[in-house]
Amino acid sequence: MSTTLSPELLRQYDVPGPRYTSYPTADRFVEAFGPADYAQALRQRREGPAALGLPLSLYVHVPFCESLCYYCACNKIITKHHERAAGYLQYLQREVELHVRELGPGQPVGQLHLGGGSPTFLSDDELRELMAMLRRNFTLVPRAECSIEIDPRTVSAQRLSVLKDLGFNRISFGVQDFDPDVQKAVHRVQPFDQVAALMADARRTGFDSINMDLIYGLPKQTPESFARTLAQVASLKPDRIALYAYAHLPERFKPQRRIVASDLPDAGAKINMLSQALAAFLSTGYVYIGMDHFALPDDALAVAKRQGRLHRNFQGYSTHADCDLIGLGVSAIGKVGATYSQNAKTMAEYCDLLDQGKLPVTRGLALSRDDLARRAVIMALMCQGQVLFESIELAWLLDFRSYFAAELEQMRELQRQGMVIVDDAGIQVTAQGWFFVRAVAMQFDKYLQADRNRARFSRII
């Protein structure tokens, strides 16, 4: 795949846009969708085709962090009072019991992910308690993918062994940048040597895959400093890399108000850093999965891309078939059938609903036929890099060329720029277009086309 992307093209597509971990996107959820609607979706799953044993995906949100990272836009609670975790686990138990009441016991699970916050805020015993509770109520299938996000500042070699014993086979290190000045500017100091030693411990422990998260566009970052970070990352050779663009939205995310705006790199520097990263990772053997994900050729994600088996959910690209996702914990998002749901975003409201014996859902969406058809198109583009007209027509009983006439007209400009190829069979994203696949998918987003207030989304570049 070519990495010769012109600065002009990168600059043109340096615009806000959804990441399409779902369609419609979460900003379209409505409060009219509540606990009763979600409970009905769970019952319909139990009684429908999914009852034949299609595995679930589970996401558990652990909101606690010991210290504040200024760039963070996650739902989190900053505290050094670790005793708060015990009470939270009790509420998670109540939420799981409510799910089991609707779904039935022992539902198979093929994918489990612990995110946050910092899941490693929990003690070893609390992690054991959490995993035991999940195993009592669900059935992890053989070779289930079990992943956990790790703050390298809170984990030792001994803790890694505990995580492996608990069944976790994939781990993700939050790194962001190795430059000391950048780390101080975002209030997350973790020396390279500390992370390198922990990576070596993780390899010896035998995890199937190790991911590393990076961010470009942070305060104090320069193309020169980021080049050093890229070289350090390449020396560690994580199995996967997630490279995110920092979105500075201090009016929405209070922690970001502590970042000095004048310390942020300008658009030209950000584009330079992205170009550097693309060249560095691809030249050292990584496969570009899509958007902001890279993987080594033998990693399951790279294999899935080669075989056309990529999928996408609220955690990003996945090797698992499109399946129902149960979100557990404060602010967690789920997908069951043709519905999306999100739990209460504050701990007080989350606990209050559970105290009332209700599922803690405060908003969501029941998808229309148009939503489902457009979701199929967008996910085909985002995951397979192509959409075949006939497959959409057969699945949704529509004539693609007439139903999406306006969208196909918009494809002409993208085709002129070499982003896509449109023929009688369908739309194919080119090698160049794969770097801008969000821009291609955006053309089929009915809500986005009608909404010019797009600044709430992260930028494509």
- Verify cis geometry, omega within 30 degrees of 0, for the bond prior to 255: no
Torsion of CA 41, 45, 49, 51, to 10 degrees: -170
CA–centroid distance for 149 within its chain: 12
Binding-site positions for S-adenosyl-L-methionine read 59, 71-73, 116, 149, 176, 188, 213, 247, 333
SS3 label, residue 237? coil
366 by Cβ neighbours in 10 Å (0-12 / 13-18 / 19+) ranks as middle
Cα–Cα distance for residue pair 399/405, rounded to 1 Å: 10
Phi, psi of 290, deg, nearest 5: 150, 150
Tell me which residue has tokens 């999940």.
Answer: 134
- Taking alpha carbons only, the member of 238, 142, 241 closest to residue 199 is 238
Tell me which residue has tokens 């000391």.
Answer: 180
Residue type, 224: E
Binding-site positions for [4Fe-4S] cluster read 65, 69, 72
- Taking alpha carbons only, the member of 147, 139, 68 closest to residue 115 is 147
Could you please report the per-residue DSSP string of 70-131?
Answer: TT--S--EE-S-TTHHHHHHHHHHHHHHHHHHHH-TTEEEEEEEEEES-GGGS-HHHHHHHH
259 by Cβ neighbours in 10 Å (0-12 / 13-18 / 19+) ranks as buried
SS3 label, residue 329? coil
Binding-site positions read 59, 65, 69, 71-73, 116, 149, 176, 188, 213, 247, 333
